[in-house]
Amino acid sequence: MKKDLRRVVIAGNWKMNKTRSESTELLKQLSDISANNDVIVVTCVPFTNLETALAVTKGTAIKVGAQNVHFEKNGAFTGEISADMLKELGVEYVVIGHSERRQYFGETDETVNLRTKAALDAGLIPLMCVGELLEEREACITEEVLARQIKLDMAGFTADQVKKTVIAYEPVWAIGTGKTATAEQAGEACGFIRSVIAKLHGNDVANAVTIQYGGSMNAKNATELLAQADVDGGLIGGASLIADDFKAIINAAVSG
Ligand code: 13P
């Protein structure tokens, strides 16, 4: 019941894949996805493909997202892109705090917090990523890690900002490894994240937040993962680069 109140978001994170011509080809293959008010479909493409993606997806049910955003409005930040720049293009979503950015590019909970706030201020919808490392799961501190990330990454948020943020639970050990969290593990972790939000902001806010699962989600396991009460969609890497696989995941969400 409560799940019916939430937006289901199926988002493809293309990471550093697809040139402009390759993007056009993939997006054209996806363009017949039919609009559905209950399931939002997003493709998060490299910065260089945003304009192309917006043009190719015009009039389709596919929304376009970026994969990062800087927290300052403008200035001497070579190589960075601001929220206003994305917004003016027509971009609606942005991935923030992906574990690859935390791991390889020095992203911290503090910068995730700043970037997410900047995105919200500009009217973008953040897909804010959290998740534990393998050693943290093995040390049985998954909940501690997730609680800390949610508290720090959303520090100072109003209830309305929390509600507008889509949270992606991505256990780092399941990303690109072919090792999916079991549906039960995914459901438990997403439920735990919701309970942390409930403690901070109350049940109404917690029940309104979309929480995705990400990590080796594919055409075969999507139905089971998406059937979990607290899993409201997916953030999909590898399988979002193959039109038929991404469509199968969308279908699993639509018929779920
Ligand atoms: P994979 O689906 O390739 O495991 O990637 C998940 C991910 O990192 C999405 O952001």
pLDDT digits (tens, 9 = 90+) for 79-90: 999 999 999 999
Q: For position 75, what pLDDT does the model report? A: 98
* Antiparallel, parallel or unpaired: β 8-13 and 233-236: parallel
- What is the per-residue pLDDT across 36-89, written as a single tens digit (0 to 9) for each? 888 999 999 999 999 999 999 999 999 999 999 999 999 999 999 999 999 999
| Residue 12 Cβ contacting ligand 1 at under 6 Å | no
- What is the per-residue pLDDT across 165-181, written as a single tens digit (0 to 9) for each? 999 999 999 998 888 88
Q: At what angle do helices 109-121 and 142-153 cross, to 10 degrees?
A: 40
| Residue 98 Cβ contacting ligand 1 at under 6 Å | yes
Catalytic residues: 98, 170
Percent of the chain whose pLDDT exceeds 90: 93
Instruction: State the average pLDDT over residues 187-202.
Output: 98
pLDDT over 70 (residue 23) = yes
- Cα 73 from chain centroid (whole Å): 22
| Residue 218 Cβ contacting ligand 1 at under 6 Å | no
Residue length of the chain: 256
The rounded Å distance from CA 41 to ligand 1 centre is: 16
Q: Which residue has the tokens 């937006």?
A: 7
Q: Which of 9, 45, 216, 240 most suits a substitution to test ligand 1, by most atoms within 8 Å of the C-beta?
A: 216
Q: Which residue has the tokens 């917090």?
A: 113
As a whole number of angstroms, the distance between CA 256 and CA 49 comes to 31
Q: For position 171, what pLDDT does the model report? A: 97
The rounded Å distance from CA 202 to ligand 1 centre is: 30
Contact, 86 vs 122, CB < 8 A? yes
Q: Residue 218 CB: number of other CB atoms within 10 A? A: 20
pLDDT over 80 (residue 1) = no
| Residue 176 Cβ contacting ligand 1 at under 6 Å | yes
**Of 123, 149, 121, 118, residue with least CA distance to 136:** 149
Instruction: State the average pLDDT over residues 14-21.
Output: 98
As a whole number of angstroms, the distance between CA 173 and CA 74 comes to 35
- What is the per-residue pLDDT across 144-157, written as a single tens digit (0 to 9) for each? 999 999 999 999 99
Q: 48: Cβ–Cβ under 8 A, 6 or more apart, which residues?
A: 20
> Residue 125, CB half-sphere, CA atoms under 13 Å: how many?
21
| Residue 46 Cβ contacting ligand 1 at under 6 Å | no
Q: Which is more confident, 10 or 178? A: 10
Q: Which of 14, 68, 107, 236 most suits a substitution to test ligand 1, by most atoms within 8 Å of the C-beta?
A: 236
Model confidence band, residue 3 (pLDDT cutoffs 50, 70, 90): confident
Specify the DSSP class assigned to residue 49. G
Phi-psi region at 93: left, alpha or beta (left = phi > 0; alpha = psi -120 to 50): beta
